[in-house]
Structure 1
Amino acid sequence: MAVPALALLLLLITSPAQAQSNGEGSIYSRFGLGTLLEFSSSRSQALGGGGYALRSLNYNPGANPALWSDQVFTRLSASAAYRSISTEDGRGNSGQLASGNIQAIKFNFPISRRTLGVALSFQPYSRTNYTVTQSGTVPFGPRQKTEAPYEVSFTGSGGLHQLRGGLGYRVNEVLSVGASANFIFGILESQRRTTFEESAQGLRNVVVSDGTRLSGLTGTFGTHLTLADVFAPGDALSIGASATLPAVLTGEQFRTLDEDLARDTLATRDGQVTVPWQGRLGVAYQPNARWTFIADGLFEPWSAFSSTFPPGGTETAPIQFPVGGPQTLVDRWRLSMGAEVVPAGNSDLAGYFAQSAYRIGGYVERMYVRPVEETDLHVFAATAGISLPTSLSGTRIDVNTTVGVRGTTSRSLVRDTFFGVSLNVNFGERWFQRRKFR
């Protein structure tokens, strides 16, 4: 049986060449299409990341298009996050990773108040981001009696983005439906940079890069049910579900060689990858105006992933090409739950912090990458956040935090411990109102 790709990478990290891991992101982003990113709204992010049945007038939920029918305000939201990752293996080697990024930019507006709403959004779909460095010496000079120090850096960068647009429609007081068109595009790139010290005259620094440019369309369909007075007078039970169709992403794979400052394209090839469908199901329960509880599940059959690009990238990195074959991919699932409390409930006369929303949640996920056979990788995380009202009606500022672990140190793999914080601004205002004269 062939040695697993990630194990080869870790052999470099722990070799006598004194390699180390640093940079931004996770080594696991080297597989498939990179680390998959989930963000529906800042509210659902603090509640474990689901919220597929969570109705809201103050947010732009993205996971279920049926929820867009609830809009009253024209709403613009933006979210930025910072994440720190500590990586370690079973031999005590460790590295510190960090990154900052935009989570989403969304624009929603109602065509008919609480009946028909439009949504547009732009957000990352996946990210490839890691760096592994290996140092050593090679024989050099007359009769190769001199040792020339060198450094080889293996890096991954880029990712896919998603541009969405769609409609949500409320059929009646119980049922809502919605649909969106999703355009996925971006570039995944891996690079091997070899550098020598200035004393090694005659040895040239070389950079070999492999990249894949992809784009394609898919669609998401959603439905939502709202039931009142289910367990007690005044309560509300919501059930939401959505499905995203499989996507065929077409593009080209290219290899370039940089020698000093000149870049040459060595080869290009066309191909395509098939991204599997995705299913989401969620439940939200509000016993009163103060409390909200949610539970959600997600499933993606990545074992059905296919690619016409040849796997490998053998010259650029000791591990698999970013768009690798299905042998390292498995079905992905995610379970999450959370709770929210607003001490003031619906009262507008309570104090500032009584009108703030306090949230807590968590999730467990089986990752869609499995570099070593029969070793599933999981993510365990806890989330929390506070939502602060402002003097502008319909506008809130959210601060969220996430802490968790990913992967394992067994079987020559690595474990990531991550901490993240995000700032989210949700601006809402009434537009397109017809003025009335008396």
Structure 2
Amino acid sequence: MIKRLILGAFVFTTTAILAQKNSASPYSYFGIGENFEAVTVEQASMGGIGVAMKNNQHLNFINPAANADLRAATYAIGGSLTFLTVKEGNESQAGNSTNLRYIALGFPVGKKAGVSVGLQPFSSVGYSLFDDSNPEDVTLFNGEGGANKIYASFGIYAYKGLSVGAEAGFIFGNIENSILNRRANVMLATKYEESFNIRGGQFKLGTQYKTELKNKLQLSAGASFTLSTDLSVKGSEKMYSLSFNNSNQELPREELFNRSLIGNINVPLKTVYGFGLGKENKWYVGVNQQFQSALGSNSVFIADGQSHKYDDSSKFSIGGYYIPKINSISSYWDRVTYRAGLRIEDTGLLVKTTDNFEAVKDFGINVGLGLPLPRQLSNLNLGFEYGQRGTTNNNLIKENYFNVRLSLSLNDINWFHKNKID
């Protein structure tokens, strides 16, 4: 029965992720939108670490080599609720969004290997910006859509303590942007619209190593490499004049141009490496460092060089967990996993100011809980993050956000075994 429920939930939530709007950030205006970092709620609650972490009860999206440690079929689903406050100068505006972040299914293959498959957002666009700095010339910017990634990954032990893995993914999605301009004392407004599809493959390689030190301490190290790839972009753009009826509905008039768009987006090599120290089922502390070169394109899909451009990006994460007593009978809270972490990120996005380009920075402080469920090895995970992105310097936008994350990890050690009595 549990197998049918898990598979049914997998199909249902796949449809939900494809249909949802994932972002409300003004920074999703740039490029192909706000980047989605593929981490589980458990990993996000520890600042986004995990490239070196080995765990047989949870999936690991950062390093495919971690699949080698799977010992039970695991279904994972994660979502988040974001409370966002946007500040520009002395003005601020608040909003929120709710979305599914991933669904995945992993299972062991023999005693030394494992496989996982799943669906995750890759980027998300969801903004509505209003520029009325000049009352004689008002502009409204709107955008929605994004890209998703479906993936399959495999990990295997190549030697005692050493595992290697690989992941293949396919990225797909659609983005729509529009710019509506209205001038005072002018009967007709003008509107620019663009719509394009994104397609392409992505490949990741990873390795992990763990060794035991004195006093049952375990030292682990890991690295993952997401290889450079070119995403194809095809679509169209058009501009036309329009008027408005008494209900403020748009009435298209003369079409100024309508032409095809074609190009590619280069997503460069991303390297993540790190190490961790801990005691199994007791505590763990890890550090991650991530580097990626600047995004590139042979068209204006990524950066027009006037309003924004891209540089190299980096991210530092530190975090861990603590379990008071995993097999406690007298206290439920002694069996709970307590998580915390910190991340500091240079997004690589540079936004045009009056005199120069300003780098967009991001940081987040995270805490979380792993709540055991009655079913063996399964758990409910809660995560909380407070963060800031951007700055109000030079008339730019600063975001203060609070994320509430929730995930369910269902484990079934009897997935591949037939019941003798039905």
* TM bin (shorter chain): 0.7 to 0.9
Q: Which residue of 1 aligns with 2:245?
A: none
Q: Any residues of structure 2 matched to 1:21-420 within 5 Å, and which? A: 25-89=24-88, 91-113=89-111, 115-134=112-131, 152-193=139-180, 203=187, 207-229=191-213, 232-256=214-238, 260=250, 266-287=258-279, 289-302=281-294, 305-309=295-299, 311=300, 324=304, 328-345=309-326, 347-372=327-352, 373=356, 375-420=358-403
- Counterpart of 2:351 in 1: which secondary structure? coil
How many residues of Structure 1 are paired with residues of Structure 2 in the alignment?
384
C-alpha contact 1:307 1:324 (8 A) present in aligned 2: no
- CA–CA separation in structure 2 for the residues paired with 1:73 and 1:348: 22
- CA–CA separation in structure 1 for the residues paired with 2:217 and 2:66: 19
- Counterpart of 2:349 in 1: which secondary structure? coil
- CA–CA separation in structure 2 for the residues paired with 1:323 and 1:120: 33
What displacement does 1:186 show? 1.4
Give unmatched runs, 5+ long, in structure 1.
Answer: 1-22, 139-149, 312-320
- CA–CA separation in structure 2 for the residues paired with 1:338 and 1:122: 25
Amino acid at match of 1:277: L
- CA–CA separation in structure 1 for the residues paired with 2:366 and 2:304: 32
- CA–CA separation in structure 1 for the residues paired with 2:190 and 2:233: 26
Q: Over alpha carbons, which structure has the higher Rg?
A: 1
- Counterpart of 1:129 in 2: which secondary structure? strand
What displacement does 1:274 show? 0.9
Q: Which residue of 1 aligns with 2:11?
A: none
Range that drifts further, 382-391 or 38-47: 38-47
What displacement does 1:324 show? 4.3
- CA–CA separation in structure 2 for the residues paired with 1:350 and 1:170: 37
Q: What CA deviation, in whole Å up to 9, does each residue of 1:97-127 have, x standing for no partner?
A: 32222111111111113x1111101101111
C-alpha contact 1:212 1:253 (8 A) present in aligned 2: yes
- Counterpart of 2:216 in 1: which secondary structure? coil
1:436–1:246 distance in 2 versus 1, CA, 3 Å: same
- Counterpart of 2:387 in 1: which secondary structure? strand
Q: What CA deviation, in whole Å up to 9, does each residue of 1:165-222 have, x standing for no partner?
A: 121101233100000111112122211246899xx9x956765311221111121000
C-alpha contact 2:196 2:261 (8 A) present in aligned 1: no
1:104–1:379 distance in 2 versus 1, CA, 3 Å: same
Amino acid at match of 1:291: W
C-alpha contact 1:39 1:49 (8 A) present in aligned 2: no
What displacement does 1:269 show? 2.4
1:179–1:325 distance in 2 versus 1, CA, 3 Å: farther
Amino acid at match of 1:411: N
Q: What CA deviation, in whole Å up to 9, does each residue of 1:52-83 have, x standing for no partner?
A: 11111221111100001111111111111111
Q: What CA deviation, in whole Å up to 9, does each residue of 1:6-43 have, x standing for no partner?
A: xxxxxxxxxxxxxxxxx952222222322111132221
Give unmatched runs, 5+ long, in structure 2.
Answer: 1-21, 243-249
Range that drifts further, 219-228 or 48-57: 48-57
What displacement does 1:384 show? 0.7
Amino acid at match of 2:152: G
- CA–CA separation in structure 2 for the residues paired with 1:360 and 1:220: 27
Amino acid at match of 2:115: V
1:152–1:408 distance in 2 versus 1, CA, 3 Å: closer
- Counterpart of 2:71 in 1: which secondary structure? coil
CA RMSD of aligned residues (A): 2.7
Q: Which residue of 2 aligns with 1:4?
A: none
- CA–CA separation in structure 2 for the residues paired with 1:168 and 1:325: 41
Range that drifts further, 123-132 or 207-216: 207-216
Q: What CA deviation, in whole Å up to 9, does each residue of 1:234-286 have, x standing for no partner?
A: 11111010001111111213124575477988111221111111001121211
C-alpha contact 1:401 1:421 (8 A) present in aligned 2: yes
Range that drifts further, 260-269 or 250-259: 260-269
Range that drifts further, 292-301 or 185-194: 185-194
What displacement does 1:370 show? 0.7
- CA–CA separation in structure 2 for the residues paired with 1:386 and 1:191: 41
- CA–CA separation in structure 2 for the residues paired with 1:215 and 1:95: 34
- CA–CA separation in structure 1 for the residues paired with 2:279 and 2:411: 26
C-alpha contact 1:24 1:97 (8 A) present in aligned 2: no
C-alpha contact 2:265 2:302 (8 A) present in aligned 1: no
- CA–CA separation in structure 2 for the residues paired with 1:368 and 1:97: 25
C-alpha contact 1:31 1:324 (8 A) present in aligned 2: no
C-alpha contact 2:139 2:181 (8 A) present in aligned 1: yes
- Counterpart of 2:28 in 1: which secondary structure? helix
